[in-house]
Amino acid sequence: MTMLSRMGEPIVVNVALGARAYDIVIGRGVLASLGTRVAALKPDAKAAIVTDESVSRYHLKAAEASLASANISSTSVIVPPGEGSKSIASFERVCDALIAAKIERGDLVIALGGGVVGDLAGFAAASVRRGLDYVQVPTTLLAQVDSSVGGKTGINSRHGKNLIGAFHQPILVITDTALLDTLPAREFRAGYAEVAKYGLLGDAAFFSWLEANWKDIFAGGPAREHAIATSCRMKAAFVVRDEGETGDRALLNLGHTFGHAFEASAGFSNRLLHGEAVALGMVMAFSFCARRGLIPVAEAERVERHLAAVGLPTHLSDVSGGLPGIDRLMELMEQDKKVKRGKLTFILVRAIGQAFVAPDVSAADVRAFLAEKI
């Protein structure tokens, strides 16, 4: 397929949003170029790095050193790791720290971490002084292929996930694939589900390539950069077509309607990570499509085989502690999607790589399908 990047030569994906366009710079070791790239975009800026305790242990020094080498002074704000940091309390702490560090419109916020840090720091950047520039330095596979691109920022409310937030695009994304070498294997696998999702929703050739090359992606070979760049290109294309998420950006939710219900029923806990729930959700979505005669059963089995091969959960029985009954799962899906006259909106497929929005899936069909699966 596409040419692989040579070591040391980053792949640059542009998110073409006119005045708000930005580059995603992807490669092994590109964190070292953070300082010079920031200095080129914002001469004389000072920076505040927002990160979490785990990421800071491994990667904060390198980020600070890169900034210092370009004469950019920086302070850091370190939050506890985990979803709990997407809270009003952490948001307040980060905003106060940015204000105390005198980060102003000419300055910069740097989000160094996974999706939690990216969402939290991005929202603080969107809010303090009505909008500060920020740079994403994603450190999980999920953040590198998904949350660092597209400008969705936010925190959780007691009423649900991501209910408080803003669209605020970064000015630069530095995606250093070597940072993933310290990521726990389970987190890496969970992020991989989102990589596979891009193939499954829109690029059959990419999915075939993943089936052949996934081991090299996990091992940190050149396939890793290619997989991340391909994912970012696809996400960027959706974001450019549909920045405010009113139209076909919804296709990115393949596997997520089932997935969110599983995730919520496991209490958004360590029992089932987001990407694991998405893997399970995609297997369900393909199996649901096979049941409706949209795709051959063998196609659904192929998806399941690949996700199982990398070690992702593909059966409801793979979830430790089990899942609740059908009534609760249906309730969660209906909450998520708002049922209109007994109809749910789902992302379905005509084939691997050909997803579409189906606004009229009957809740009764979904219930009957789940009854077979449980």
Ligand X SMILES: NC(=O)c1ccc[n+]([C@@H]2O[C@H](COP(=O)([O-])OP(=O)(O)OC[C@H]3O[C@@H](n4cnc5c(N)ncnc54)[C@H](O)[C@@H]3O)[C@@H](O)[C@H]2O)c1
Residues that bind ligand X (CB under 6 A): 52, 54-55, 58, 81-83, 86, 113-117, 119, 139-140, 142-143, 146-147, 150, 152, 161-162, 179, 182-183, 187, 274
Q: Tell me if residue 315 is catalytic.
A: no
Burial class (CB in 10 A: 0-12, 13-18, 19+), 268: middle
User: Which is catalytic among the residues 59, 152, 226, 306?
Assistant: 152
Write out the H or E segment, with its range, that includes residue 235. helix 222-241
Catalytic pick from 59, 197, 256, 306?
Answer: 256
Q: Are strands 47-52 and 74-79 parallel, antiparallel or unpaired?
A: parallel
Indicate the residue among 67 and 149 with the shorter CB distance to ligand X.
149
306 assigned to active site: no
Catalytic residue among 187, 245, 299, 301: 245
Supply the minimum distance, in Å, between the C-beta of residue 367 and ligand X. 27
Smallest distance from ligand X to CB 257, Å: 15
Q: Which is nearer to ligand X, 71 or 182 (CB)?
A: 182
Q: Is 39 buried (19+), middle (13-18) or exposed (0-12) by CB count in 10 A?
A: middle
> Backbone phi, then psi, for 272, in 5-degree steps?
-150, 110
Task: Supply the minimum distance, in Å, between the C-beta of residue 147 and ligand X.
Answer: 3
Q: Mark whether 260 is an active-site residue.
A: yes
- Residue in the shown chain whose Cβ atom is closest to ligand X: 115
Which tokens go with 360?
A: 């009229």
Which of 86, 249, 306, 337 is catalytic? The answer is: 249
C-beta closer to ligand X: residue 36 or 87: 87
- Closest CA relative to residue 119, chosen from 72, 159, 163, 76: 163
| Residue 79 Cβ vs ligand X, minimum distance, rounded to whole Å | 10
Residue 257 or 287: which CB sits closer to ligand X? Answer: 257
Q: For this structure, is 194 an active site residue?
A: yes
Active-site residue flag, 274: yes
SS3 369: helix
Catalytic residue check, 197: no
Number of neighbouring beta carbons within 10 Å of residue 88: 12
Euclidean distance between CA atoms 181 and 163, whole angstroms = 32
Least separation in angstroms between CB 149 and ligand X: 7
- Give the nearer residue to ligand X in terms of CB position, either 139 or 287: 139
Place of tokens 């199996």: 287
By beta-carbon proximity to ligand X, the closer residue of 148 and 287 is 148
- Asked whether 120 and 86 are in contact (CB, 8 A), the reply is yes
Tell the smallest beta-carbon distance from residue 51 to ligand X (Å): 9
- Distance CA(142)–CA(175), nearest Å, equals 11
- 140, 116 in Cβ contact below 8 A? no
Indicate which residue of 59, 253, 263, 306 is catalytic: 253
Please tell me what DSSP assigns to residue 270. T
256 is catalytic: yes
Catalytic residue among 86, 168, 260, 306: 260
Query: Are 124 and 166 contacting, i.e. CB atoms less than 8 angstroms apart?
Result: no
Q: Which residues are catalytic?
A: 130, 152, 194, 235, 245, 249, 253, 256, 260, 274
